[in-house]
Structure 1
Amino acid sequence: MENQPEIVQQALALAQQAQDIALGWLTSPAAWSQFALLAVAFVLAVVLTRRFSPVITRLLTPPEEQTHILARTRRFLLQFVPLLLPLLAYALTGIGESVVRSIFDSGAVIAFGKRLFLFLAARILVRDIVQDGFLKLLGRYVLVPMAALYALGLLDPAMAYLNTLQVTLGNITISLMALLRGVVAGGVLFWLGRWSNDQSATFIKSQEDMRPATRELALKTAEIAIFGAAFLLLMNIMGINLSALAVLGGAIGVGVGLGLQQIASNFVSGIILLLEGQATVGDYVELDGGEAGTIVKMTARAAILETWDGKWIVVPNEDFITTRVVNYSDSGSANRYEAPFSVSYDTDINKVPAIIEEAVAALPFVLSDPDGPDCELRGFGDSGVDFAVEFWVNGIDDGKNKFTPKVMFAVWNALKAHDIEIPYPHRVVEIRGSGGLPFGQSEG
């Protein structure tokens, strides 16, 4: 034994201790009574679970058509029904433990049973309930081994050993135990933060009375508050003094001043856009640089424009502040367009406006408010008289919803129905030759 490594000696000592405990339990009437109580508690937990599990499942299952927050909460709690058996066994074992300790002044066996039931609960949680990939990995390799060590009574020695292993980074000293605790707590906190953020985002988006820009600002504020609180809690759990991060904060400030100022500018510009609401999700905008499309998403750094042909353009938020932006939508307001056309010089042009305005007004998408169709004389061209009809529509004349071609069809049909000629270019060609006759005449 003396020639073996220290870790082997410790393992053998623990094995000898476990053997002595097991022999003591096998020869003790108090231990046998505790084994009997454990068996009774487990059987009773099985019976109660079979009786109450269908009732709890029925109470927690909302109708499929319900999507409000109470229904989502019930569906969330429904996932934990498989934990009913080990938790009931744990509670019943706790009642039995108090009885055994009052009679025999000993409860080591039943305390071991309680820890064993917690281990089963942890295993069911990881295997059947947790669906997130990161949390499942964390539970499989951290939570379940810790629950097993706790069941065997080895968790405290293991934690004490991990606390002796430390890593020093400048003024910050972190033990391996603190790092492991931070990984576990961080995984749980940020999973809860993501879930809370999804729930708050769903709630805020359902508030149709709020302006789109206000909704976006509320979403960003809730996200920053939730994950900021999760970060502060994580630092506190890991035992890291936040004042020790002052150097890191100063380095980040220098980085912002030197290399990240453009990102910071875009972030501040995004907040200004959300506060002012001059451009928000759903608006069709056109920038000085030629970018044009419908805003489908606004992030902390940029806005995503979707063009009429389905392409996405990422435009930095700063461009909306420092350049001229034409907003055609402003959350669904009407827009005016015009369709040019020409008629022959032989036409009585006094009749044209009434004919065209009546034909365009009959189109279902043309609005009468703020103004109906207006046909105007624009000029006298080389081949005909130039007109244009102006019309208002509720939307954007883009690739998915082209209004102008339909108006042009209506203009064509109206002119044809009234025998009005649409001119085409004419050219007069004169050919002169020496001694010849003018073109078009023959000798007689």
Structure 2
Amino acid sequence: MDRTKLLEQAQAYFEQGRDLALEWLLSPAAWTQFGLLVVAYGAAVLVSRRLKPLLERLLTPQDDAQNVVAKSRRFLFIFIPLLLPLLAYALTGLGETVTRAAFGSGEVIAFGKRVFMFLAARILVKEIIDDPLLKVLGKYLLVPIAGLYALGFLDEVMMKMDETVVPLGNLSFSLLFLVRFAVVAGAIFWLGRWSNDQSAAFIKSQQEMRPAMRELAAKATEITIFGVAFLLVMNIMGISLTSLAVLTGVIGVGLGFGLQKIASNFISGVILLLEGQATVGDYVELDGGEAGTIVKMTARATILETYDGRWIVVPNEDFITTRVVNYSDQGSANRYEAPFSVSYDTDINKIPAIVEAAVAENPDVLSDPFPPDCELRAFGDNGIEFAVEFWVNGIDDGRYKYTSDVLFRIWNALKDNGIEIPFPQRVVHVKGEIRTRAK
């Protein structure tokens, strides 16, 4: 009996679908809508083919252009792949208006219009968005939503999601609200990140500002942009900031002690940027043994890059509470010395002139604040010990090996003048007669 009822119900559905299909096939309104849909798509293809080269020329700046207008043109250029589906969507929208006015229906062309919107969403996620977070949101939220919209199920699904309430302490949100929040917040913060990148690049290109002030201005701009983005998201989603005050207070009390170090590092970072005693590009050495070139200063820590390519993350507080040696690789001269020795048979009065002239030929050795200075240091066990002091702009390490080149020049200069460079020697005195064993 149950099997018979199922068969009868299936047959009824089949006949209903058949009658609906025949009605659509024999309906002038359906054929008109399908024809308008094809015409709208064909017109969109023709228009996009003519507009695409024009837009590419208008939105492609010169390769070396880095101003705000050029960057905005490059930003708009990435959206050119959306031209065809959006044109088709707009033209099918006009066709839907015509068919609804003429026949009182427009389901076929409306379905086609929604499909074009789905294609636009898919192209946006697949070809345009490259940010990892937005790509995930687009893949798992935007594209499924566009698919439901194309199939006509979006309103029903949204109604079910709106009825599903998610409790969060004293607050409660619908599932639909959370999805909207994720999409809106993702889009706004992506735009905020892009704006922050452009602002930071513009600020760091202002060479008349001190490096520390450029870093401070960039950080202040970043905080402002994302602060405005947060308030904008809260306002758009209709969330009252006072409703979050209790939750924020509980989190603040619970994490306050644990965030003391973070607050200390943040304040220390601001002090470093304001004072400018250590900035990006400086070579520094801390009491703890950490040494390297500052490559980045964040709100919490300063990143040092050693000459073997490793990055050391140093909390900003360490720059305030410990002793820091700043070799100031950014244009500050540093003094180094290269030791050497000559034999006791040498006329040592000639050595300073020969060595100083040889070292001065190095293009990196400075004559200001002081030229190369060769000094007699000691009468050693194996030879007379000298050292030449020289000044350079930089650190004698990494890609700059000043001392190595200076020693090469000293060696060649001494050899050219016939001066012997001694090596360890020992004189052995044997007392008495040396007897040999007879074979």
Superposed pair shares fold, TM > 0.5: yes
Looking at structure 2, the residues matched to 366 and 384 of structure 1 have their Cα atoms a distance apart, in angstroms, of: 27
Indicate whether 1:314 and 2:309 are aligned: no
Question: Aligned in 2, Cα 1:355/1:179: closer, same or farther, shift over 3 Å?
Answer: same
Aligned to 1:389: 388
Looking at structure 2, the residues matched to 16 and 261 of structure 1 have their Cα atoms a distance apart, in angstroms, of: 73
Looking at structure 1, the residues matched to 46 and 419 of structure 2 have their Cα atoms a distance apart, in angstroms, of: 92
Looking at structure 2, the residues matched to 46 and 160 of structure 1 have their Cα atoms a distance apart, in angstroms, of: 36
CA apart distance, 1:396: 0.9
Aligned to 2:295: 296
Question: Aligned in 2, Cα 1:128/1:287: closer, same or farther, shift over 3 Å?
Answer: closer
Between the aligned residues of both structures, percent identity stands at 69
CA apart distance, 1:429: 7.9
CA apart distance, 1:280: 1.4
Deviations 1:249-276 (A, max 9, x none): 3244335542221222112111211222
Looking at structure 1, the residues matched to 304 and 196 of structure 2 have their Cα atoms a distance apart, in angstroms, of: 25
Looking at structure 1, the residues matched to 89 and 313 of structure 2 have their Cα atoms a distance apart, in angstroms, of: 55
CA apart distance, 1:309: 3.0
1:134-145 matches, within 5 Å, as: 134-145=133-144
Question: Aligned in 2, Cα 1:17/1:198: closer, same or farther, shift over 3 Å?
Answer: farther
| Equivalent AA in structure 2 for residue 167 of structure 1 | V
CA contact (8 A) 1:179 1:238 kept: no
Looking at structure 2, the residues matched to 209 and 65 of structure 1 have their Cα atoms a distance apart, in angstroms, of: 21
CA apart distance, 1:244: 2.4
SS at 1:401's partner residue?
coil
Deviations 1:167-220 (A, max 9, x none): 222221111111111111122223223333333333333333332222222332
Aligned to 2:204: 205
Aligned to 1:274: 273
SS at 2:44's partner residue?
helix
CA contact (8 A) 2:343 2:421 kept: yes
SS at 2:388's partner residue?
strand
SS at 1:239's partner residue?
coil
| Equivalent AA in structure 2 for residue 177 of structure 1 | L
Aligned to 2:361: 362
| Equivalent AA in structure 2 for residue 219 of structure 1 | A
CA contact (8 A) 2:265 2:299 kept: yes
CA apart distance, 1:381: 5.6
Deviations 1:351-391 (A, max 9, x none): 44333322322232211111111233445666665543221
Looking at structure 2, the residues matched to 127 and 346 of structure 1 have their Cα atoms a distance apart, in angstroms, of: 79
CA apart distance, 1:288: 1.9
Number of matched pairs: 421
Question: Aligned in 2, Cα 1:215/1:30: closer, same or farther, shift over 3 Å?
Answer: same
CA apart distance, 1:422: 5.5
The 10-residue stretch of structure 1 (105-114 or 299-308) with the greater mean CA deviation from structure 2:
105-114
SS at 1:258's partner residue?
coil
SS at 1:370's partner residue?
coil
CA contact (8 A) 1:292 1:305 kept: yes
Looking at structure 2, the residues matched to 19 and 119 of structure 1 have their Cα atoms a distance apart, in angstroms, of: 28
Question: Aligned in 2, Cα 1:358/1:31: closer, same or farther, shift over 3 Å?
Answer: closer
SS at 1:55's partner residue?
helix
Question: Aligned in 2, Cα 1:153/1:327: closer, same or farther, shift over 3 Å?
Answer: same
SS at 1:398's partner residue?
coil
CA contact (8 A) 1:281 1:297 kept: yes
Structure 2 length-normalised TM: 0.80
Looking at structure 2, the residues matched to 222 and 20 of structure 1 have their Cα atoms a distance apart, in angstroms, of: 64
Aligned to 1:172: 171
Aligned to 2:409: 410
Question: Aligned in 2, Cα 1:416/1:324: closer, same or farther, shift over 3 Å?
Answer: same
Question: Aligned in 2, Cα 1:269/1:98: closer, same or farther, shift over 3 Å?
Answer: same
Aligned to 1:147: 146
Aligned to 1:163: 162
Question: Aligned in 2, Cα 1:128/1:393: closer, same or farther, shift over 3 Å?
Answer: closer
Looking at structure 2, the residues matched to 265 and 239 of structure 1 have their Cα atoms a distance apart, in angstroms, of: 34
| Equivalent AA in structure 2 for residue 47 of structure 1 | L
SS at 2:194's partner residue?
helix
CA contact (8 A) 1:166 1:173 kept: yes
Aligned to 2:10: none
The 10-residue stretch of structure 1 (382-391 or 178-187) with the greater mean CA deviation from structure 2:
382-391
Q: Which runs of 5+ in 1 are unaligned?
A: 1-14, 432-438
Aligned to 1:77: 76
Aligned to 2:47: 48
Looking at structure 1, the residues matched to 17 and 232 of structure 2 have their Cα atoms a distance apart, in angstroms, of: 38
The 10-residue stretch of structure 1 (394-403 or 169-178) with the greater mean CA deviation from structure 2:
394-403
CA apart distance, 1:304: 2.1
CA contact (8 A) 1:182 1:237 kept: no
SS at 2:394's partner residue?
coil
Looking at structure 2, the residues matched to 50 and 232 of structure 1 have their Cα atoms a distance apart, in angstroms, of: 41
SS at 2:390's partner residue?
strand
CA apart distance, 1:392: 0.9
| Equivalent AA in structure 1 for residue 124 of structure 2 | L
Q: Which runs of 5+ in 2 are unaligned?
A: 1-13, 435-439
Question: Aligned in 2, Cα 1:154/1:407: closer, same or farther, shift over 3 Å?
Answer: closer
CA contact (8 A) 1:86 1:117 kept: yes
CA apart distance, 1:279: 1.0
Deviations 1:106-130 (A, max 9, x none): 7666655544543343344334433
| Equivalent AA in structure 2 for residue 184 of structure 1 | V
Looking at structure 1, the residues matched to 193 and 25 of structure 2 have their Cα atoms a distance apart, in angstroms, of: 50
Question: Aligned in 2, Cα 1:440/1:218: closer, same or farther, shift over 3 Å?
Answer: farther
Deviations 1:270-303 (A, max 9, x none): 1211222111121111122222222222222222
CA apart distance, 1:330: 5.0
Question: Aligned in 2, Cα 1:358/1:255: closer, same or farther, shift over 3 Å?
Answer: farther
The 10-residue stretch of structure 1 (284-293 or 123-132) with the greater mean CA deviation from structure 2:
123-132
Structure 1 length-normalised TM: 0.79
Question: Aligned in 2, Cα 1:367/1:25: closer, same or farther, shift over 3 Å?
Answer: same
The 10-residue stretch of structure 1 (340-349 or 244-253) with the greater mean CA deviation from structure 2:
340-349
Looking at structure 2, the residues matched to 87 and 63 of structure 1 have their Cα atoms a distance apart, in angstroms, of: 28
Looking at structure 2, the residues matched to 205 and 269 of structure 1 have their Cα atoms a distance apart, in angstroms, of: 21
